Amino acid sequence: MSRYKPDTRAAFSRQPAHYLLFDVGQPMTSTQMRNAITAVQNVLMLACSIRGGSRIPAFGLAMINQNFQNVYSLEAIQGNFSKISAAFNSLSYQAKISEKVSFQEFKDYLYLAINSLLEDFKSKSEIMSGNNKWQFPPQMQITFVTAKDGSDIQLCLEEAVKTMNIAKLKKIQVVQLQNELGNLVTERNMEEPGQKINTNFLKGVEFVVLVQVAGTEKELESFFKTWLLDCDIDHEHLRISLPPSVDLPGSASPVLKCDIGECLINPLSLPFGHRYQIQMDFCSIQLGGSGLTKSAANDMPIYELEVLACLSSSSICQSQLFGQPACLYPTQCWHLEWEELLNNQQFFVSLCKKLCERDEYLLTRLKGHLHSISELAGYFVLESDGSELLLNAAVSAELVLPTREVGLPCLSNDRKAHKMLNAVSNCLDHLPLIQDFQPSDFPSGLYSILARNLQHNTTYDNTHFLNGSSNCDMGNSGHPALDTSPSEPHTRGGSKRSRGSNSTKK
């Protein structure tokens, strides 16, 4: 019987176990191996550190060289990262003594490897089935990293899985790496120099998928970060309800069902995540795991932003900004001399005016301060409408998540497609058009729910749906950051305007 209710879903409940199989034989280079190992370890470090649902519940590592070797048997990654790191060190050592084998020998080793990994998953599933401490993943995904011709390996694996028990196998990914020059080094290429291979090729046949990836650390890390995305497809994630058509009285409201794809990892779900946002209260810093004691609750740091570059206003996307925006004004600190205050104000006004005239932003980075780790620093963007500065956090390389490949079909030209376009157009035409968004016109009902909460709840209980508190208790097992939604930055389209008392910054 399904455990889902009509309006609930289980996040990260369908994450597969991941077995990483390396082909360390020729033509794999030491640079490709080093880049791949570093990229995987970076992603596993993120998975071990993110609070909330387990994004990579289990991991195993194996290799093919002169033979097959299971370097690290499938285990939960939580609490085992040091063992996983040691396994990668062992893999690096084995790769240095790799030799070239015939393709027939390689096929035998590959068949043995896939069959052994499936058996390992099956045995671990049986052992862990009665273990309440760890929910064993329902499926396994095998990722095979090689520098050989991926098309030949794909055909080989398609034949191999026909004779194996693949009931709990989600898929096999064959990842073919490019060399340092950006070319695919394969025997087929050497035999046919004029043949061109599409490096963006993505093909899926049953359980076997071939992906060709550049062998750089950056590209490989982006690829392996797909492991961190939610694999739940048992239920839609979000519904968008549109008003019914006025031309068809009594018609049902159209509902668009969507899945949610994260653009970045919530920094407040990571240790020291407070360094990625400018915080105005101690509770927000504690959510990021700064390690500060509660005795320092009134000692907020004085932040310092180092300007790195100017940005064209069209060079940054809304999905690359996150968190709570903040308005900046020239300081009124009474400890400063009057002349210094005036000069500072003139500098501020001049900067705002020039940024607005040039239609540019400032890219800045947070510098270290007394209570934090100086080498960990987030990036921020400053923009201006000519009178003030608006500060937004900008995503860094480590937090970016790749876009999910969903394979959307093209809109056809048949009668059904035209009917759908007309229906959508009709629906949008009958919606009111707001020229100037005023937050004061759109209350969320917060005051009434806070009043009810304060009247009926006298003790802090973070498990109750309506309960909240101004105190930040980090001793609870649930992480409060997972229940808060960061304010999304507004689009930058349209003309810039000053921020009124009831308007938001564009």
Q: Which residues contact 284 (CB under 8 A, 6 or more apart)?
A: 268, 274, 277
Bridge partners, residue 322, by sequence: 393
pLDDT at 167: 83
Element (H, E) at 60: strand 58-64
Token digits of residue 385: 């409408």
Angle made by CA atoms 229, 232, 237, in degrees to the nearest 5: 95
Token digits of residue 215: 């062998």
Are 120 and 70 in contact, with CB atoms under 8 Å apart?
yes
Q: Taking phi first (over 0 means left), then psi (-120 to 50 degrees means alpha), and beta for anything else, what does residue 89 get?
A: alpha
Q: Which residues contact 189 (CB under 8 A, 6 or more apart)?
A: 183, 195, 197
Q: Which residues contact 351 (CB under 8 A, 6 or more apart)?
A: 384, 389
Phi, psi of 288 (to 5 degrees): -85, 0
Question: Quick one: CA dihedral 458, 461, 465, 469, positive or negative?
Answer: positive
Q: Which amino acid is at 326?
A: A
Give how far Cα 432 sits from Cα of 251, 408, 435, 462, Å: 19, 30, 10, 39
Exposed, middle or buried: residue 350 (CB in 10 Å: 0-12, 13-18, 19+)? Answer: exposed
Q: DSSP state, 14?
A: S
Beta strand 238-241 with 379-384 is unpaired
How many other C-beta atoms can be found within 10 angstroms of the C-beta atom of residue 46? Answer: 21
Give the integer Cα–Cα distance in Å for 82 and 80: 6
Ranges of residues in the chain whose predicted pLDDT is under 50: 1-2, 4, 185-205, 295, 370-372, 459-460, 462-506
Q: Which residues contact 201 (CB under 8 A, 6 or more apart)?
A: 210, 211, 212
Give the integer Cα–Cα distance in Å for 350 and 344: 10
Q: Which amino acid is at 179?
A: N
Phi, psi of 305 (to 5 degrees): -105, 130
- The domains located in the chain, with CATH, are 17-228 (3.40.50), 267-394 (2.40.290)
**Which SS3 state, helix, strand or coil, does residue 177 take?**
strand
pLDDT at 483: 35
- Give the distance from CA 112 to its chain's centroid: 34
Sole residue written with tokens 């008003």: 243
Q: Which residues contact 441 (CB under 8 A, 6 or more apart)?
A: none
pLDDT at 473: 41
pLDDT at 180: 58
**Which SS3 state, helix, strand or coil, does residue 128 take?**
helix
Residue of 145, 201, 138, 144 whose CA lies nearest to 170 = 138
Are 306 and 367 in contact, with CB atoms under 8 Å apart?
yes
Token digits of residue 403: 């876009």
pLDDT at 272: 84
Phi, psi of 325 (to 5 degrees): -70, 155
DSSP one-letter string for 89-120: HHHHHHHTT-----HHHHHHHHHHHHHHHHHH
Give how far Cα 426 sits from Cα of 240, 248, 414, 422, Å: 16, 11, 19, 6
Give the integer Cα–Cα distance in Å for 19 and 74: 7
pLDDT at 281: 73
